[in-house]
Amino acid sequence: MLPALAFVPPNEVLNAFEVLQEIMPPKADPVMDYFEDTYIRRIRRQARQALLFPIDMWNMHGPLMEDLPHTNNAVEGWHNHIQSSISACHPNIWKFLQTLRKEQTLNEVVINQMLAGHPPPPKKKRYQDLMQRIFNIVRQFEERDIVDYLQGIAHNLQF
């Protein structure tokens, strides 16, 4: 359930983490300590220290509610596409520029299609269904018990 904290509203993450700490078995203490040290920060002298990774940086609640991308898969896909288009480990500058020109032309075609009203290519049904289930749970945050909420999200996360 620890990764499910990313789908808790940012202002509720600390409360949810504290509830999770109470129900976790003692053998999970090293993982909980690491998470607290890295993403939450321990309370020292009556206050939490500055965060290494601010909650807004890793929290997915806002982007999910605004239908924004949740991963960098599109960037990785573009990088793989460029790499396969170049088809060389160390291309010369001319080959690289030629590949970038082709990519620019393809992007202009896609942009013009979208401006003309064509829909973007559909996502795989498997991922659409998964994101819809997570979105349904996230919308019900206020109505659910925090442990039930975290379990519901955790059942839909895949690693």
- Segments making up each domain of the chain, as ranges: 2-69+126-156, 73-115
Task: Return the structure tokens found at 82.
Answer: 């460029």
> What's the confidence (pLDDT) of residue 148?
96
Q: Strand pairing partners for 48?
A: 43
**For position 44, what pLDDT does the model report?**
64
Quote the pTM value.
0.71
Which long-range contacts link 23-30 to residues 24+ away (Cβ below 8 Å)?
Answer: 23/147
Residue with tokens 């290494």: 52
- 71 band by pLDDT with thresholds 50, 70 and 90: confident
